[in-house]
Amino acid sequence: MERLLVEPFYVMKVLERAKELEKRGEKVIHLEIGEPDLPVPNKVKERALELLKSLELKYTESVGIYPLREAISSYYEREYGVKVEPERVIITPGSSPGLLALLKVAFEFLGEVSYSDPGYPCYKNMVKFLNIKGRALKVFPENQFKVEAKDLKTPVLIVNSPSNPTGSLYSKKELSKLAEKAFLISDEIYHGITYGQRATSVLEVSENCAVVNGFSKFFLMTGWRLGFLIVPKEFVPQITAVLQNIVISPPTLSQFAALACFEEETLRELKENIKVFKERRDLLLKGLKEIGFKVPVEPQGAFYVFADASKFTDDSFSFAFEVLEKAKVAITPGKDFGSNGTEKFVRFSFCTSKRNIEEALERLYSYLR
């Protein structure tokens, strides 16, 4: 079989080339990767070290340990004022396999799934991999790249707010309108990382919905592979059975250590990080505009700027490689996020220090101007 079952991430090609350049001794500045550079909370690391001495790392229940399901349930109550029974919270090894299981189950219960273009690539790729019916909905800068209820024709919609790659945030009213028309799968992985108003959880506006979330972004724990779902009661047995088969259980050490995430001190520290992200965002936005990029939607959350590079190119895929070769700055081509006008766009991630961002901007300025 020659053709891949799903499309790869094009950015991986950028990363591969960046690594080759680095091997040759070049200093590449990485603005392509969506992985927070800030350190994992201390309490989590301390807890993990203690646990390693005392805990036998055996499988846990497929749906995860009850104390963590409870901690997530009360976190959602504190943050959003919603009540969800811990039995509806399912822990997964990162949010990605949770989303995969949920998509299949939601499709079997309800039918065709829509997602936005541009949008997070895994939605389209997972739909394709599962061989379920899916529909890309074109979204445009004029509406901040958000899906509008009038365009929604399927019983299920994936929403991602704050969004990757655009940083757009759906208001409570917008989410309510969408929830009136479809079952929402709300990818809330960037919740907690917002630069003004907080993000609304879909659970605040509808009963008829599911949440995908995890510990990789706000909690900074990418490599700990921990995520969770909050689903309607009738989905639980189906999703549990799928997870029993495909993952057996989420990582034991990560689950116990993650309990420390919900302690006051850790949450306070994590909330402080938002100031750091905000400063980087402001710096990057200002610099990119000075160079000549257009930013039709300033990110209200997450850690990306989706910039229109049409002043410099009409092929942002080649442009990403050109910028890497000439300015030694790695960025993500728009093509990764869909096909609706994405050849004009590139995504800059601000998961790196202000110093690196400044240097990247200087390099881009001298190359492009």
- Which spans of this chain sit near ligand PLP (rule: CB under 6 A)? 34, 94-96, 120, 160, 164, 187, 189, 214, 216, 222, 227
Least distance from ligand PLP to the Cβ atom of residue 54, Å: 27
Least distance from ligand PLP to the Cβ atom of residue 91, Å: 12
Distance from the first to the final alpha carbon of the chain: 45
Dihedral sign of CA atoms 187, 98, 4, 333 in order: positive
Q: Is residue 270 within 8 Å of 219, Cβ to Cβ?
A: yes
Nearer to ligand PLP, 184 or 189 (CB): 189
Least distance from ligand PLP to the Cβ atom of residue 325, Å: 26
Nearer to ligand PLP, 96 or 252 (CB): 96
Question: Which amino acid, one-letter code, is at 40?
Answer: V
In DSSP notation, 273-302 reads HHHHHHHHHHHHHHHHHHHT-B-SS--SBS
Least distance from ligand PLP to the Cβ atom of residue 110, Å: 21
Nearer to ligand PLP, 8 or 81 (CB): 8
Nearer to ligand PLP, 60 or 254 (CB): 254
DSSP state of 194: B
Least distance from ligand PLP to the Cβ atom of residue 290, Å: 28
Nearer to ligand PLP, 65 or 226 (CB): 226
Nearer to ligand PLP, 190 or 256 (CB): 190
Least distance from ligand PLP to the Cβ atom of residue 301, Å: 11
Spatial separation of the C-alpha atoms in residues 312 and 365, rounded to whole Å? 12
Closest CA to 187 of 226, 150, 129, 230: 230
> CA geometry: angle at 220 spanning 101 and 160, to 5°?
45
Contacts (Cβ under 8 Å, ≥6 apart) of 168: 144, 145, 146, 161, 162, 297, 299, 300
